[in-house]
A and B are shown apart, each in its own frame.
Chain A
Amino acid sequence: MREITMAQAIREALAEEMRRDPRVFLLGEDVAEAGHPFKVLTGLVDEFGRERVIDTPISEAGFTGIAVGAAMTGMRPVVDIMFGDFLTLAMDQIVNQAAKIHYMSGGKLKVPLVVRTTLGATRRSAAQHSQSLHAWFSHIPGLKVALPATPYDAKGLLKTAIRDDNPVLFFEDKMMYQVKGPVPEEEYTIPFGVADIKRPGRHVTLVATSSMVYVALDAARILEQEGIEAEVVDPRTTLPLDVETLVASARKTGRVIVIDEGYRGYGVTAEIAAVIAEEAFYDLEAPVRRLGAMDVPVPFSPVLEDQTVPTPEQVAAVARELCGRA
């Protein structure tokens, strides 16, 4: 199978969906000729024109609101929020409007909207361009939240997001756009709420999201040297969450570490750990452990920033503890 980058996979998903459905259009800051600062959208304006790839002013609340209105009236907008941190500017439109309109209208109105944005630190971008805020949105009924870890997942999940009749927050790790992986030429989609076992194992489960999948896989390679077989499970969507697969893996291994790049406190890791504790308590050999970003604003200096995100060594150390090898 051919290998393409995450950025190419996302671009292909958008292009294919825009060809398939004339109601799909893109809007956001610098999405047209500039093709987005990370060049994810390069070339789309050439094929689809400025009518469907719309450069907006720097007005996140305004253009997100416009996308909500367009979605309610027959279009399927894909909004680009350049950095996940800027979601804060569009909070009302996402949380109070998009997420609730279907419910508040008793099911009469629909908001088929995709908000594409980024997460992830370690670009030396400091506190306002580095946050991973997906837990906030995973907290809100009415939204869906996807976090692809591979080019294959990114393409399949984004196509599903665009075809979904609900508002979807789609988080892309900005360090992963150049990661390559196999992606088939032919059409496929990936359903939401179905976790993927990225690597099977029997001694410890590493539940990991987005870029933390790679941290978990690296940790698994370290542990393998020591005779510990780690299973890496990627939920792929945190809302809906595939509780069944997570719990099944927990029952199988009896030991679970949850790793996510959002802040640790009140984070995605807490929810997943709680679900596993509730559903698989009697199968667990040890308490579920959590690794997340440090609860500090992301610092600029590399020596400081690198400490804030979980590393394979940290994951391996916790796994050794859980397996009684420390």
Chain B
Amino acid sequence: MYELMAKIRAFEEQANELYITRKMPGLTHLYSGEEAVAVGVCQALRRDDYITSTHRGHGHCLAKGARVDRMFCELLGKAEGYCRGKGGSMHIADPDSGNLGANAIVGGSTGIAAGAALSAKMRGTDQVAVCFFGEGALGQGILYEAMNMASLWKLPVIYVCENNLYNEYTHYRETTAGEILARPRAFGIPAEEVDGQDVRLVLAAARRAVARARRGEGPSFLLCNTYRFYGHHVGDVDRSYYRSKEEEEWWKRERDPLRILRDWMVQAGLAEEAEFERIHRAVQEEILAGVAYALEAPYPDPREVSQHVYA
């Protein structure tokens, strides 16, 4: 789990680099700081379980099993990207690893995840579907419509709310009335709050939710408290008008999910510091190789522009 979190962190650092050096078209929304949520949840899943992701989705894709090189290809709009360069950073889908796609409409996939769960139930598989969304999606009505039906129909879907405190540039307390957990509970959906920076706690909670879903007992809701180390997107550099430097530094210093797991493992005698250095080196190598591959990779044939409009 540490290695996967380190890989996501390194991937995002590199994505930021690609943006700053203008090698990447468009923009991207970095997941750094939130790694424990994606990794903890996806670790509780099988490869054939489904996830739906968000505009801040690289971490979910990697945690569910996507490859670094093909991810970078997609970020750069290359033919070997997961979506042949047609999706880009915000729309990476990889059905082979159960990833039904990242969604650039906030809350846009909350119905899709429930639909995948309904489909699993109708087909008689014991697959579950995880719906990742940020706390900003709490403002979208479709989330509540979907949770209502998921609960009524006992669908094997897990709603994972990543509360990184900010709806883009606005603190969630300015946008979110009442208690977050009271919302799923109003639909009869068991809900728990988790320290989203501690991957072990996320994993334990996700396992409970997955087991419940597989038993046919219906949906669950996990509220994971977390923090994005970077801005809303890579271009959001001057952030002082909505959050302080002190706050950012405190989270990076005290609440880094990699640091939290590393400290625990060292204290528990499960690993030595040198091992982490080795992991970081290996991960960095994979990331650099992936970027180099993607930078060299060919763009799609321009004629592909009108392919895939219809199946």
Contacts and interface: CB of A to CB of B under 8 A. Distances in A.
A65 B115 contact: yes
Interface in B97-145: 100-101, 103, 105, 108-120, 122-123, 129, 141-142, 145
A254 interface: no
Contacts of A108: 82-83, 93-95
A72 interface: yes
A39 to B, nearest CB: 25
Interface stretch (A98-106, A293-301, A303-311): A98-106
A25 to B, nearest CB: 7
A74 interface: yes
A62 B146 contact: yes
Interface stretch (A8-16, A89-97, A176-184, A220-228): A89-97
B148 A59 contact: yes
Contacts of B112: 65-66, 68-69, 72, 97
Interface of B: 50, 52, 81-87, 91, 93-95, 100-101, 103, 105, 108-120, 122-123, 129, 141-142, 145-146, 148-149, 152-153, 307-311
A248 interface: no
Given A65-B142, A75-B119, A92 B148 contact: no
Contacts, number: 153
B149 A97 contact: no
A72 B145 contact: no
Nearest to A99: B309
Contact of B311 (A51, A56, A104, A166): A166
A166 B310 contact: yes
B86 A104 contact: yes
Contact of B95 (A68, A97, A104, A109): A109
Contact of A70 (B82, B94, B115, B308): B115
B122 A103 contact: no
26 contacts: A56-B149, A59-B148, A62-B114, A62-B142, A65-B142, A65-B145, A66-B114, A66-B146, A68-B115, A69-B112, A69-B114, A69-B118, A70-B119, A72-B115, A73-B50, A74-B123, A75-B118, A77-B115, A92-B105, A104-B87, A104-B101, A105-B93, A105-B101, A106-B81, A106-B87, A111-B311
A93 B83 contact: no
Interface in A54-72: 54, 56-57, 59, 61-72
B242 to A, nearest CB: 27
Contacts of A71: 115
A69 B111 CA distance: 7
A210 B42 CA distance: 49
Contacts of A110: 311
A73 B101 contact: no
Nearest to A75: B119
A141 interface: yes
A68 B219 CA distance: 19
B308 A103 contact: yes
B83 A105 contact: yes
Contacts of B111: 61-66, 68-69, 93
Contacts of B83: 104-106, 108
Contacts of B50: 73
Please name the 10 residue pairs, one residue from A and one from B, whose CB atoms are nearest each other, closest first: A65-B111, A69-B115, A62-B145, A106-B84, A69-B112, A59-B145, A106-B83, A165-B311, A66-B115, A107-B308
Nearest to A59: B145
